[in-house]
């Protein structure tokens, strides 16, 4: 029983990481029909901004701020202006391909310009182990969990309780109507990209101490984000966090109790089941189809 609890607790910790990344992914999809296959690399990259800043002598807290700023500027603003806007005119598909090419580009850039080796990354909170009910969880994992929850709550507040947030939602649900009502839709969409820029930077800071900063991080994290977002419900932000947690726990349990060789298969089987039986995800809303 003790090991079951340990698996649950560790799964929760990993799941919180997936959730954070899935939230940004979901947001982009929801508001601008952007399926960002480069989301994993978006999480991988800010860590290297920060490491570079630290190499030039900045203390960690300053480097972190620089990393977040660069992330918002490059992965938020530039991404939107240079890649998304031109592509979206031609449909979703070229954009999807572009993000695939972008993920390759970012990955290789880091490998060529920084290093192909994994880099240790300073932790936000010192890592000590806490014992809860026979299970051990590190303070780092708790921090990730806490930040993830705070982020989602803040996002929900932003989207539902503020004027800007409600405008963003309107833009997501019906852009034409929103424009007619006088909502500056392009600015709303821009805000989502900027928010994603912050989210991926925060996720990067939380994840990199545990995963170590490496150019291949994006592959596993990105895949986990897609699966989490779809299982949870890609058109509800809270669906993303629940999807992430379910994914983390499921991964651990299947590896421990069923088969370690097929540990990657179970989340995928759940993904297929969810798509076929309940495409809007476990917590999502059904989308209307436009004719």
Partner 1 sequence: MNRLGIIVVGAAVIFAIVVPFFLKPFGIYLISMWAVLTIAAMGLNLTLGYAGQISLAQGAFVGIGAYTTALLIQAGWPYPIVFISAGLLCFAIGWGLGYPALRVQHHYLAFVTLAFTTLVFLVLRNEEWLTRGIYGISGIARPTLLGWSTANARDFYFFCLGALTVIAAATWWMLRSPWGRAFIALRENPIRALSLGLDTRRYTLMAFAIGSGLAGLSGALYAPLVQFIEPNSFALGLSFNLLLMVIVGGGGCFFGPFVGALVAVLLPEWMRITQSYYLMVYAAIVMLLLAFCPSGLLGLIERVIKATRGRRGPDGIAPNAERANP
Partner 2 sequence: MYRPGLIVSVVVASLGLLSSAYAQSTVYMPAVLELSGSGAVSGTNFRDGMILAVEEINAKGGILGKKIEMPLLDTQSEAGIARAQVQKVLDNNPYVVLGPVFSGSVLTAMLLTQQAGVPQLVGGEAAAITQKNNPYVFRTSFGQQFSMPKIANYVRDGVKAKTVAVLWVNNDFGKGGRDSFIKEMASRDIKVVADVSTEAGQADFSADVVKMKAANADAIFVYLNEEESARFLKEAKKQGIKSPLIGETTLLGQKVIDLAGDAANGVRGHVGLTVDAPIPAVKEFAERFKKRFNYVCDHNGIKGYTGIYFIKYVTEKMGKFDSKLFAHTAHGIAVTPKEEPGILMEATWDQNGDVDRESFLGEVVDGKQKIVQILPKLGK
User: Which residues would be at the binding site for partner 1 (CB under 8 A)?
Assistant: 35, 83, 86-87, 90-94, 96-98, 100-102, 104-105, 108-109, 112, 223, 226-227, 230, 261-262, 264-265, 268-269, 271-272, 275-276, 279, 289, 291
Residue 93 binding partner per list partner 1, partner 2, none, with a CB distance cut-off of 5 to 8 Å that depends on partner kind: partner 1
Q: What is the DSSP string of the chain?
A: -HHHHHHHHHHHHHHHHHHHHHHHHHHHHHHH----TTHHHHHHHHHHHHHHHHHTT--HHHHHHHHHHHIIIIIIIIIIIIIIHHHHTT-HHHHHHHHHHHHHHHHHHHHHHT-SS-B----SS---EEEETTEEEEHHHHHHHHHHHHHHHHHHHHHHHSHHHHHHHHHHH-HHHHHHTT--HHHHHHHHHHHHHHHHHHHHHHHHHHH-B-TTHHHHHHHHHHHHHHHH-TT-HHHHHHHHHHHHHHHHHIIIII-STTTTHHHHHHHHHHHHH-TT-TTPPPPPPP-
Closest CA to 250 of 234, 227, 233: 227
Residue 268 binding partner per list partner 2, partner 1, none, with a CB distance cut-off of 5 to 8 Å that depends on partner kind: partner 1
Residue of 78, 100, 256, 271 that binds partner 2 (CB under 8 A): 256
Residue 35 binding partner per list partner 2, partner 1, none, with a CB distance cut-off of 5 to 8 Å that depends on partner kind: partner 1
Give dist(CA 74, CA 77) in Å, integer.
6
With contacts defined by CB under 8 A, name the span among 77-85, 170-178, 228-236, 255-263 that binds partner 2: 255-263
1/277 with CB nearer partner 2: 1
Residue of 216, 266, 271, 282 that binds partner 2 (CB under 8 A): 216
Residue of 32, 103, 185, 252 that binds partner 2 (CB under 8 A): 252
CB of 18 to partner 2, least distance (A): 10
222 binds partner 2 (CB under 8 A): no
CB of 272 to partner 2, least distance (A): 19
Residue 226 binding partner per list partner 1, partner 2, none, with a CB distance cut-off of 5 to 8 Å that depends on partner kind: partner 1
With contacts defined by CB under 8 A, name the span among 3-11, 149-157, 172-180, 237-245 that binds partner 2: 3-11
245 by Cβ neighbours in 10 Å (0-12 / 13-18 / 19+) ranks as buried
235 binds partner 2 (CB under 8 A): no
195/230 with CB nearer partner 1: 230
Residues of this chain that bind partner 2 (CB under 8 A): 3, 6-7, 10-11, 14, 108, 111, 116-118, 120, 129, 136, 138, 210-212, 214, 216, 219-220, 248, 251-253, 255-256, 260-261, 263-264
């Amino acid at each position: 029983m003790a090991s079951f609890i340990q698996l649950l607790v560790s799964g929760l910790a990993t799941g919180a990481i997936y959730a954070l990344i899935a939230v940004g992914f979901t947001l982009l999809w929801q508001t601008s029909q952007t399926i960002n296959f480069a989301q994993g690399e978006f999480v991988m990259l800010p860590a290297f901004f920060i490491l570079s800043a630290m190499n030039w002598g900045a203390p960690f807290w300053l480097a972190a701020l620089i990393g977040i700023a660069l992330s918002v500027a490059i992965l938020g603003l530039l991404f939107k202006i240079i890649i998304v806007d031109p592509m979206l005119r031609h449909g979703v598909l070229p954009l999807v391909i572009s993000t695939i090419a972008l993920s390759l580009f970012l990955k290789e850039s880091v490998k060529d310009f920084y290093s192909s080796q994994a880099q240790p990354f300073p932790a936000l909170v010192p890592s000590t182990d806490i014992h809860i009910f026979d299970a051990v969880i590190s303070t780092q994992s708790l921090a990730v969990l806490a930040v993830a929850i705070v982020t989602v709550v803040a996002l929900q507040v932003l989207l539902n309780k503020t004027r800007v947030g409600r405008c963003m939602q309107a833009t997501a649900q019906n852009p034409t109507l929103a424009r007619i009502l006088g909502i500056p839709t392009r600015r709303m969409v821009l805000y989502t990209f900027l928010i994603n820029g912050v989210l991926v930077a925060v996720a990067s800071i939380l994840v990199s101490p545990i995963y170590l900063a490496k150019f291949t991080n994006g592959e596993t994290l990105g895949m986990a984000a897609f699966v989490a977002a779809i299982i949870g419900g890609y058109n509800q932000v809270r669906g993303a966090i629940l999807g992430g947690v379910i994914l983390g726990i499921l991964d651990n349990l299947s590896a421990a109790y069923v088969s370690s060789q097929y540990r990657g298969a179970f989340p995928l089987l759940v993904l297929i089941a969810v798509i076929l039986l309940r495409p809007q995800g476990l917590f999502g809303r059904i989308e209307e189809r436009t004719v």
